[in-house]
Amino acid sequence: MDERSGKILGLVVEEYTRTAVPVGSTYLCKQYDLLVSSATVRAIMSSLEDEGYLHQPHTSAGRVPTDKGYRFYIESQMTGQNLSRQDEMELKRELLTLRAKNVRLARTTAKLLSALSGHMVMSGVVDRDEYYDFGLRTLLEDESISSRDELCRVAEVLDYIDERVDVLLAQVPEGETHIFVGKENPLDEISGCSMVVAPYRSKDGERGMVALIGPKRMQYARNKSLVEYVRKFLSGSVIVIFLIVV
């Protein structure tokens, strides 16, 4: 893909993530200094659609990213994003409080991460088959998964998550954080969503997992940073970060 096409695709991803409205060529030309005509942008978007990166929901509508489009953006244009100072301070304060109270970290970190991200989060200790989820309501309220069939599939995954964790974790090396977009998802029932998954091993050797589930138009960089931070905390390695910051 040439640089100009990549830029147009990136702008479509970012605008659709922000507005949830299909993006048109005229809108992009008005919002950004692209130095080309609306007709040229429209031709580029048409080519991107032919190549499978964009999709036009209706003939008169703008375009939205496909799974392939999101994947290109994640691999080629998404820059690493550190947590904002506010997010980091809130996470650090809450996580240290939870650890001091000796509460069930798998449950409470899932609730905290869901509140910060605005998405559904699953967290658990694999060796104990102990899993928790929060934020299902926000996921079900998203327009992109509003059909009854999709809602039923999401609920099914939650009912049998203990039987599916091995399938999920087999796709992600321990200690890494990976993004699955749409149909890349190893859990077929939620192929209409994206997931940010992070397996970890605690200091006492227990295997755990954190997974954030949201619409495909999620803020991938921020969500990956949030999940990565929680993963490091649960594995114990984030303590080094605390000592540097304080």
Q: Kindly report, residue by residue over 131-144, the tens digit of the pLDDT.
A: 888 888 887 777 66
Residue 58 sits in a domain of what CATH number?
1.10.10.10
Domain count across the chain: 2
Instruction: Indicate if 221 and 123 belong to the same structural domain.
Output: yes
Per residue in 196-234, pLDDT (tens digit) is 999 999 888 889 999 999 889 999 999 999 999 888 888
Per residue in 86-100, pLDDT (tens digit) is 878 878 887 777 777
Of the candidates 61, 81, 62, the residue with the CA atom closest to the CA atom of residue 11: 62
Q: Which domain holds residue 65?
A: 3-76
Per residue in 157-173, pLDDT (tens digit) is 777 777 888 888 888 88
Highest average pLDDT, of 45-49, 77-81, 115-119, comes from 45-49
Among 76, 108, 135, residue at a domain's last position: 76
Instruction: Indicate if 23 and 143 belong to the same structural domain.
Output: no
Instruction: Indicate if 10 and 42 belong to the same structural domain.
Output: yes
Residue 235 sits in a domain of what CATH number?
3.30.450.40
Instruction: Indicate if 119 and 236 belong to the same structural domain.
Output: yes
